[in-house]
Amino acid sequence: MTNFTPSEMMTVAAARALKNDDVCFVGIGAPSAACNLARLTHAPDITLIYESGTLGTAPNVLPLSIGDGELCKTALTTVSVPEMFRYWLQGGRITVGFLGGAQLDRFGNINTTVVGDYDNPKVRLPGGGGAPEIAISCGEIFITMKQSLRGFVEKLDFVTSLGHGKGGNDRAAHGVTTRGPTRLITDLAMWEPDPVTKEFTVTSLHPGVTRDQIRETVGWKAKFAEDVGETPAPEALELEVLRDLHARTKAAHEGK
């Protein structure tokens, strides 16, 4: 087997979750790497959309920011930001939204706003940006995040964007008709919501990962599906394409 890092495993697993006919709302960081890896491997026709207004973009290197020129230059077209949020996101044209965050709970609710009290913050984070509406308007949501006790918490300090709320039918009770978080892809495992409780449940462990590692990195009592599989390790081609993408990106951002 080829050697790979947990972070590479996470990106590859997230990329595999995307389909060739998906229209994907992409965030910066891990989601951006995963979406572009999908485009460069099994999903060449995937439509990638960044909230800066770039529609159908195919960056040669990963953007540092959500509005890099590379995104605009390689896009089919670039629309204004109000149009992006009104016609494309709110209009229901996005099949998958990719989110990450500072804190996540077992129902896929996310906090990117504040650690501590909102009016008296311990750490003031950037805030929601597009997330509150991405979370409710995309057909489904994939979350990708590295597992840690700091990030995977029993109770969020602030609910920036809605996942499955308090679980069960709570999402629908908020008047939201989209599916919400359907996959959580971490550096250790693949999780899916339980069909009834909507609590994230481990469905597949990445190669070499133990159940104890899962428990030690999650601030709630982690649940496991009846059949927990093993995530197929990254293939040589997936790793090669991903590493090339990162190398090109590094060279481009350090180039001048």
Q: How many CB atoms lie within 10 A of CB 249?
A: 20
Closer to another protein at the Cβ: 107 or 191? 107
**Region from 4-12, 16-24, 46-54, 231-239 binding another protein, contact rule CB under 8 A:** 46-54
Residues in the chain, how many?
256
Do strands 200-205 and 96-99 pair parallel, antiparallel, or not at all (unpaired)? unpaired
Residue 68 contacts residue 79 (beta carbons within 8 Å): no
CA distance 101 to 52: 19
CA-based R_g, the chain, Å: 18
Q: How far is the CB of 117 from another protein (least distance, A)?
A: 10
Q: Any contact of residue 179 with another protein (CB under 8 A)?
A: no
Closer to another protein at the Cβ: 161 or 204? 161
Q: Scan residues 59-78 and list those touching another protein (CB under 8 A).
A: 63-69, 71-73, 78
Going by the DSSP 8-state scheme, the letter that residue 66 receives in this structure is T
CA distances (Å), origin 210, targets 10, 221, 228? 16, 15, 11
Q: Which of 51, 70, 199, 238 is catalytic?
A: 51
Residue among 130, 151, 181, 234 that touches another protein (CB under 8 A): 130
Please report, as ranges, the residues that interact with another protein according to CB under 8 A: 28, 51-54, 63-69, 71-73, 78, 80-82, 84-86, 89-90, 109, 113, 118-119, 121-133, 135-137, 158-162, 165, 171, 174-176, 253, 256
Q: Which residues are catalytic?
A: 51
